[in-house]
Amino acid sequence: MRQNVTIDSIFAKPGQQLPVEPETPNEGKTKGNPYRSKAKQGTPPNTHAFYSIALTCEPPPGPGPNPLPPVKLIIDPEMIVR
């Protein structure tokens, strides 16, 4: 995880259930820290989840006196194309 990125949350898409839960209440939420989760009790093996990731990127300092504001993003892993 890059030092200027904070994972704010991982959440299920509308109408879906997320079969995982954060390992601790404060997973992610600080710059550069991963978001660790575990399967909820009773989740069958090989369960697929449809989810999104909310994160915040802190731009590096610019040359001017006013810093750039943080950028909030929602990532849909299904839309990532390599």
Dump pLDDT digits (tens) for 65-75. 778 899 999 99
Given this model, what pLDDT does residue 82 score? 64
Taken as a whole, the chain contains a residue count of 82
Which pLDDT does position 3 carry in this prediction? 83
* pLDDT computed for residue 73 by the predictor: 93
- Give the pLDDT of residue 51: 92
- The residues of the chain scoring below 70 in pLDDT are 1-2, 81-82
Determine phi and psi for 64, rounding to 5 degrees.
-85, 180
